[in-house]
Chain A
């Protein structure tokens, strides 16, 4: 070979793989050229970090010019001449700040993540499609009235998003596209429905049958039903029952019985129905939210007040995007939207304010079907008649469009049918049925009274059921758990697997609205919801849900704060949202200390037990970051569960189901119950105090081994309760991790040890002559990690601060000093 040919060969051998990896990437590595290109690649995100102070763009279909003024917190105030123009502008500004989030959510909600990341997303996509979510979105879209406002609003929003996407140069694509090696996809109106479906899945797909079945399989029906009851043993309903204090409806827990063999089979079936990833996030109490409203009679300024903080997974960018829509004489609404939702989801207008918490209703049921062919069924039998199954072929594609997998999903008249352990189980879920949430939000934004708001919502909002609280300027406060609540066959509830071969197993309808848990202007002068059981058992119309979906602690906390004699101020409302005192801790710790005192005084008491009792005795039951008692208390709770619920361990020694803390409290009031006996110690029958002594000492020892001595702030709460706000793709560089804040399990400002959940938005509104509001959320308006507005609100959120929400009536009403940028949107043909 000549030197020339050697050079040519060497050059080609090095260049070829470089060009390949530059253009196509290799394995998980994205295309390097587009990523590293300093002018047009990932770095270009830094060029677009700040909004230009003045910008203009055109949107097809726009009727008149729209002025968008971004305030100093990055909130776009949209001033339009028509409502549809306002929604077009909303689509544009949301895409401008959150394009990747829009796109990612759509891919996730429609089961198309494989098109971005390949086969590793197949399990997630399969879950989405097996649950029938994309099909449901298509059916909801097909059922929409194309002459109705909701349809037009969806189209207008899509026009706005697409106008932004179409005008984007590749160098302006959000950085995540570079990292994944994909490109933005144009927005379809159905994506808004996908988005609502995904939110609905998060908040309403709570297959709560599993725990009770697992317990029945181990300790029999009677004991299991007591450990996993329908009604919460502690009642502080959102629909006031005349007694502002909580009631403790404790009953004697029946002893463990003989295992239920039928339940054993069903429990195995259910474990497999649990969606992937559910196990770690299984506790629906993570999705805990607070809202409350105070009537003018109980406020310092004589105006109604409202607060809301929905607790969801914390992400960057945030699930929420703050904005205002103004159309003179027609619409003036401020609040947060979920990027992709064409409207304000939570917020206020000139007359009223509203907020949501999750109802936790049981809206999913399962049916064991009889099919004509166990391997490849085409029919299922109901009342002796074979009915055809609807088949839908689901095709999963890779990044390059190639087919990765093809599934056939079968549907009965109830919903999708899954094949598990040789059984075919179909599912009925309110999320998969017709609903009109976009109409609901559109109508609600125009409501002028609390009652009008709730009635608008009840007419169109079906899923996920929410405890909707509202206060208006006339001084009315009201709450209603709103959504479709199934009416099941008489004598049944949603905690069983129904016989699919009988039509008598089917739902017979939904609750009438007047039976929903609700209250208007109660005598107590305030209303509060915090995911507790909505109504007292005595007031219940039918089975709504069960204790698995409820959590009494925060409701007790907020009721405790609100039923005080003082007049409530705006600042009180803000302080209440981050109150670190725990009623749960007060109730448990008082028993720990009372029993612990006598145990510690005994001659056989270990130094660890004595130390543990001393710390808990001195603890003020606050979950503040430097507090040394909270960590020990939570460890005692954990050990107590371990030592107490040994009867619920399966053959492998793993606890198959864990009763709630409310049931644990119920048991603590039964010191000689057989449930205290630890069956692993065969020669001794333990009592409550023996188990408590063991838990206290073990907790002290565990913490001492892991964290050293408790003095010198070694057990400070901030070592345990970290908050992680992860980027949507989980990329560490774009996440903010290990944050420290006050709050813990069961407090109004929960900061669970797992870290990823918490108050995703905080709002306080005063309904005076002029509506005034204060808010924040853990993130920032921009989805661009290079932007200061990507995470600029986190520090405020961590300390429980709020910022005033500017609520201008027109574009001249926003002070120039508070205007960060101006965007003018014009019709396509305008000069």
Chain B
């Protein structure tokens, strides 16, 4: 496993455990810390967003493998919110993505070293 992949997996675990233990506030906090610590890394914000979305997806889907109510309840919940089911699932991914992405972006800006590679990559 490459080091980058391992770091991503650890980030997903951090988002997952943080959310499970402390609720959704764990997402911006972990992302902010991640951004601050890895400000120089490439696509730090996008990785944080993707990791958060993936962590929430796993938290949702893992119980669904074991028992049905999550899937059937999703349809009811979406109906209660007067949303199509896909929109609820999309919100479940987009919300943590945006929160983690923006928090990591902010964190990376706080980081002491300018993310040169990130900037350079974007300039190209």
Spell out A's residues near B (CB within 8 Å): 3-5, 7-8, 10-12, 14-15, 18-19, 22, 32-34, 36-43, 45-47, 49, 170, 175, 179, 727, 731-734, 785-787
Residue in A12, A33, A42, A179 whose Cβ sees the most chain B Cβ within 10 Å: A33
**A45 engages B73 (CB within 8 Å):** yes
A4 near B114: Cβ-Cβ < 8 Å: yes
CA–CA, A43 and B60, complex, Å: 8
What residues of A have a CB within 8 angstroms of the CB of B107 in the complex? Answer: 11
Known contacts A14-B102, A37-B23; decide if A43 and B28 are in contact (CB<8 Å).
no
Complex CA gap A34/B103 in Å reads: 18
Question: How far, in whole Å, are A179 and B74 apart by their CA atoms in the complex?
Answer: 14
Chain A contacts for B79, CB-based, 8 A? 731-734
**Bitwise interface map of B from 83 to 100 toward A, beta carbon under 8 Å scored 1, else 0:** 000000001100110110
Shortest A616–chain B CB gap in Å is 40
A15 CA / B63 CA spacing, docked (Å)? 29
User: Given A46-B69, A733-B77, A3 and B119 touching (CB < 8 A)?
Assistant: yes
Q: Which residues of B contact A4 (CB under 8 A)?
A: 109, 114
> Is B75 positioned at the interface, with any CB of A under 8 Å from its CB?
yes
Complex: A38 Cα to B59 Cα, angstroms: 6
Contact B23 A10 (CB under 8 A): no
Q: For B108, list chain A residues within 8 Å (CB).
A: 7, 11
Residue from the set B75, B79, B107 with the largest chain A CB neighbour count within 10 Å: B79
Q: With A and B bound together, what is the CA distance between A34 and B75 in angstroms?
A: 19
Contact B24 A37 (CB under 8 A): yes
Q: Are B81 and A22 in contact (CB under 8 A)?
A: no
Whether A47 contacts B81 in the complex (CB less than 8 A), given A12-B106, A32-B95, A34-B23, comes out as no
List the B side residues contacting A15 at CB < 8 Å.
28, 99, 102-103, 105-106
Identify 4 new A-B residue pairs, CB closer than 8 A, beyond the known A33-B24, A175-B80. Answer: A7-B106, A34-B23, A40-B24, A732-B79
Residue pair B98, A38 in contact (C-beta under 8 Å):
no
Given A15-B28, A18-B98, A39-B19, check contact A8 B109 (CB 8 Å): yes
Taken residue by residue from 53 to 87, chain B's Cβ proximity to chain A (1 for < 8 Å, 0 otherwise) reads as: 00010011001000101101111111111100000
Chain A residues whose CB sits within 8 angstroms of the CB of B23 once the complex forms = 33-34, 37, 39-40, 170
Q: Is B73's CB under 8 angstroms from A49's CB? A: yes
- Hey, which chain A residues are within 8 Å of B41, CB to CB? none
> Which chain B residue lies CB-closest to A14?
B102
**Given known contacts A22-B24, A733-B80, A36 and B106 CB-to-CB distance under 8 angstroms:** no
**Which residues of B line the A interface, CB within 8 A?**
19-20, 23-25, 28, 35, 45, 56, 59-60, 63, 67, 69-70, 72-82, 91-92, 95-96, 98-99, 101-110, 114, 119
Residues of chain A within 8 A of B96, CB atoms compared: 36
B73 touches which of A19, A43, A731 (Cβ 8 Å): A43
List, in ascending order, chain A residues with CB within 8 A of B59's CB. Answer: 38-39
Could you pull out 23 A-B pairs where Cβ atoms are within 8 angstroms? A5-B109, A11-B102, A11-B105, A11-B106, A12-B106, A15-B99, A19-B28, A32-B91, A36-B24, A36-B95, A37-B24, A38-B92, A39-B59, A43-B74, A45-B73, A46-B67, A49-B67, A727-B80, A731-B80, A733-B75, A733-B78, A733-B80, A734-B80
Chain B residues contacting A734 (CB-CB under 8 Å) are 76, 79-80
Q: Using Cβ atoms and an 8 Å threshold, which residues of chain A touch B99? A: 15, 18-19, 22
The residues of B that contact A22 with a CB separation of less than 8 Å are 24, 95, 99
A15 to B75 alpha-carbon distance, docked (Å):
29
Known: A11-B102, A14-B102, A786-B73. A37 touches B81 (CB 8 A): no
Contact yes or no, B73 A785, CB < 8 A: yes
In the bound complex, CA of A226 to CA of B81 (Å) = 50
When A and B form their complex, which 3 residue pairs have the shortest distance between CB atoms, in order from nearest? A733-B79, A11-B106, A11-B105
| Inter-chain contact A18/B95, CB cutoff 8 Å | yes
Taking CB atoms, residues of chain B closer than 8 Å to A11 are: 35, 45, 102-109
Instruction: Check if A179 sits within 8 Å of B81, measured CB to CB.
Output: yes
Chain A nearest CB from B46 CB (Å) reads 12
CB distance from B35 to the nearest CB of A (A): 8
Given contacts A34-B23, A733-B76, contact A8 B102 (CB under 8 A): no
Instruction: Give chain A residues whose Cβ lies under 8 Å from the Cβ of B91.
Output: 32, 36
Interface centre among B63, B74, B80, B106, by most A CB within 10 Å? B80
Residue in A closest to B106 when the chains form the complex, CB atoms: A11
CA distance A104 to B119 in the complex (A): 54
Identify the closest chain A residue to B101 (Cβ): A14
Q: Report the separation of the CA atoms of residues A49 and B107 in the bound assembly, to the nearest whole angstrom.
A: 39
